[in-house]
Structures are given as structure tokens and as C-alpha cells.
Structure 1
Amino acid sequence: MDCIHLKEIRAYGYTGFLPEEQVLGQWFEVNTSLYLDISTAASTDDIKDTLDYRSVIDLIKHLIKTSKFALVEKLAVTIADSILQQSDRLTKVEVTLTKVAAPIPDFGGKISIEVTRSRSVSN
């Protein structure tokens, strides 16, 4: 299966367990892998035969900016499910959502949630 990788999509949002996270907000970063067959697009060189990933970037930024969840797990799953629903071409989506500056005392690292969603196949 072919894959389109979108890296370092950044947006400011208001998801977080602490009240100040939902009021003051924070930066989030998303990396995603979009699995689909790109063989037709590679042959035709026509964007209508693939996934226009600009719409995926816009969707991710919109969800980060407008969602207000207590848990980043909920935001990560919402992003993955929304991407998968956006195009029938996609068979699988992997999303890694990172809190760029987690508000944890004496912790200078990052917190990331990784989720994978696949399209269910009906027989």
C-alpha cells in the first residue's frame, strides 16, 4: 500500500485536562500517514485521482483550533476518524498528536499520542 506522510502540522488549540489548558491553550503538532493506492494518480498525473492532502491539513488545523476536549487521546482519535471519513480512497490513517510544551512541572519533554484507524471492510 502506498502512503502520503504529512509532517509537523502545527496549530494552537484548547484541549487539555488542566483548566488553564482549556483557557490559555497551547501548541499541538500532528504527523500523519495516509494509506491509499496512488497508482492511478501516478499514471494520469491528475490530482483528482489521488487525495488532495491540502484538505487534510486544513481539517487537522480546524479540529485542533475548535475542539475543546479534556484528553489529548480524544483529540487524536477525532482527528484520525475525521481524516478517514474524508475520503473513500483511504484504507488506513496513522496520527501522532504531540503537545509541544506539556504543562508538567520539571518536565521539558513532549507528550505524544499515536492512533491508527483502518477502514472496515464489508464482505
Structure 2
Amino acid sequence: MDKIYMNQLAFYGYHGVFQEEQKLGQRFIVDLVLQLDLKEAGTSDELNATINYGEVYNRVRNIVEGESLKLLESVAEKVAIELLANYERLQECKVKVIKPDPPIPGHYQSVAIEITRSRQ
């Protein structure tokens, strides 16, 4: 299966278990791997034969910068559901949500979760 990679989409959202996270907000980074057949797009050079990256970005932004959720898992699930529901060419998507600055004592680069969802 062919893949579209969208890397390091950066947003400011209000997700987290702690009230301070939901009030103050923080950065979130999203990586996507979208799996679909890109042969028609490659031979026709037509946008409607693929997935519009700008539209995908806006859909993800609306979720990450929208309603406050407690878990990264919930954010990722909402993104996967939104993409699969709106792009019939999309067969599978991998969604990674990165939280660079979680309120966890210690030294680390980030925490992240990654899910993969497919058409049933």
C-alpha cells in the first residue's frame, strides 16, 4: 500500500488529566501515515485522485485545538475516526500524538502514543 506522510503537525491544545493542563494548554505534535492507492494520482496528476494535505491538516487542527480531552489516546482516536470517515480512498491511518511537555518530573524528550486504524 502506498503512503502519505504528514510529519510534525504542531498545535496548541488543552488536553490532559490535570486541571492545569486543561486551563493553561500546551503544545501537541501529530504525525500521520495515510495508506491508500496512489497510482491514479501519480498517473493522472489530479488532486481528486489523492488526499488533500491541507484539508487533513485543518481537520486534525480542529480536533487538537478543539474540545478538551483527558487522554492522548482519545485525541488520536478522534483523528483516526475523522479521517477514515471523510476520505473514502483512505484504507488505513497511523496517528501519533506527541506531548513534548507533560507534567511529569524527570528528563525526557516527550511522551507519545500511536494508533493504527483501518477500514473494517
TM-score of the aligned structures, taking structure 2 as reference length: 0.96
Quote how far apart the aligned CAs of 1:107 are: 3.6
Q: Distance in 2 between matches of 1:90 and 1:68?
A: 27
Quote how far apart the aligned CAs of 1:84 are: 1.2
Q: Which moved more, 1:101-110 or 1:27-36?
A: 101-110
In the other structure, the counterpart of 1:35 is: 35
Matched, 1:96 2:96: yes
Q: Distance in 1 between matches of 2:10 and 2:28?
A: 6
What is the 5 A alignment of 1:64-83? Answer: 64-83=64-83
| Percent of paired sites with the same residue | 34
Quote how far apart the aligned CAs of 1:56 are: 0.6
In the other structure, the counterpart of 1:13 is: 13
TM-score of the aligned structures, taking structure 1 as reference length: 0.94
In angstroms, what is the RMSD of aligned CA positions?
Answer: 0.9
Quote how far apart the aligned CAs of 1:34 are: 0.3
Q: Which moved more, 1:98-107 or 1:30-39?
A: 98-107
Gaps spanning 5+ residues in structure 2: where? none
Q: Distance in 2 between matches of 1:66 and 1:44?
A: 36
Deviations 1:45-87 (A, max 9, x none): 1111111111111111111111211111111111111111110
Given that 1:101 and 1:108 are in contact with CA atoms closer than 8 Å, whether structure 2 keeps it comes out as: no
Letter in 1 for 2:22: Q
Quote how far apart the aligned CAs of 1:109 are: 2.8
- The 3-state SS of whatever aligns with 2:76 is helix
Q: Distance in 1 between matches of 2:52 and 2:109?
A: 33
Quote how far apart the aligned CAs of 1:106 are: 2.3
Gaps spanning 5+ residues in structure 1: where? none
Q: Distance in 2 between matches of 1:119 and 1:108?
A: 35
